[in-house]
Amino acid sequence: MLAVENLSHRFNNGAEETPVLNDIHFVINKGEIVALLGSSGSGKSTLLNLMAGLMKPTQGSILINGHPIEKMSENQLAEFRRTQIGFIFQSYELIPHLTVRENVELPLIFQGTKAKIRKEKAIALLTKVGLEEKGDMFPSQLSGGQQQRVSIARSLITSPAIVFADEPTGNLDTKTEKEIIDLLIELNETLSITFVIVTHELEVARRTQRVIQLRDGFLVEGEPWVGEDE
Ligand SMILES: Nc1ncnc2c1ncn2[C@@H]1O[C@H](COP(=O)(O)OP(=O)(O)OP(=O)(O)O)[C@@H](O)[C@H]1O
Ligand SMILES: [Mg+2]
């Protein structure tokens, strides 16, 4: 469903060109949960932003359901992001003056969905992430792990084809990190949602079905834990 083909990206800062991704290629199938693993600066966020259509690659192609997104117009891209892509951020990015339920509804407001349907969907998703009691509270009244659950519910409300999570557990303690990864795996298994989880932690990558590893902008072949004690 998502194919990255011969993808290279360079940032142009005046005189200097910085190569950030070099000839990256992989496929992500529908219903997979994949970790995108790499140390800081290896190009993970850049790759995620390219796959989400937030920037155009210097070279190569990104196909979602066979459509090359780098060929889309700005309007087509906006529509594509609004309907096909879900995003989960390290710092949750919830709107502080909206309630938990309103935060989850927000992507549907941009789609012009009727209030009653929005509310029903938001409540159903809040129940799925274990927050059915918290809909009328504000984000600041929740713990970090609970706020990330809200942002997960929000990412799913448009029924996107694929959900990208950029370091979703980066701000959380180890126990909460495990609970959030458990939740993503459960949502993947029960709702067949396709997830790409960016992480620099081997422990997170180990929990997913498959790992795509970057090192200094290059794809690393083989499993990252080869050579370790299993
Ligand atoms: N807008 C930009 N202009 C120039 N260089 C950039 C830009 N954005 C990122 N880079 C460079 O690209 C490289 C990869 O950055 P990227 O943010 O993709 O890494 P990352 O793997 O997500 O790192 P982290 O784990 O720290 O978030 C870095 O060397 C960074 O300095
Ligand atoms: Mg990053």
Structure confidence at residue 65 (pLDDT): 86
Question: 199 CB less than 6 Å from ligand 1?
Answer: no
Choose among 114, 113, 145, 150: nearest CA to 135.
150
Q: How many angstroms does the Cα of residue 80 sit away from the middle of ligand 1?
A: 24
CB 112: neighbour CB atoms within 10 A? 7
| Residue range 33-55+74-220, CATH number | 3.40.50.300
Choose among 120, 2, 118: nearest CA to 50.
2
Name which residue sits closest to atom 17 of ligand 1, judged by CA.
Answer: 45
Q: How many angstroms does the Cα of residue 197 sit away from the middle of ligand 2?
A: 11
- Alpha-carbon gap, residue 177 to 171, rounded angstroms: 9
Name which residue sits closest to atom 28 of ligand 1, judged by CA.
Answer: 41
Q: How many angstroms does the Cα of residue 42 sit away from the middle of ligand 1?
A: 7
Structure confidence at residue 210 (pLDDT): 94
- Alpha-carbon gap, residue 167 to 173, rounded angstroms: 13
Mutate to test the pocket of ligand 1, among 22, 39, 46 (most ligand atoms within 8 A of CB): 46
Beta-sheet strand order (sheet of 210-215): 85-88, 162-166, 194-199, 33-37, 210-215, 218-220
Structure tokens belonging to residue 119? 């509310």
Cα 12 off chain centre by: 26
Domain boundaries, the chain: 33-55+74-220
Q: How confident is the prediction along the chain (230 residues), in pLDDT tens digits per residue?
A: 899 999 999 998 888 888 999 999 999 999 999 999 999 999 999 999 999 999 999 999 999 988 899 999 999 999 999 999 999 999 999 999 999 999 999 999 988 999 999 999 999 999 999 999 999 999 999 999 999 999 999 999 999 999 999 999 999 999 999 999 999 999 999 999 999 999 999 999 999 999 999 999 999 987 777 655 54
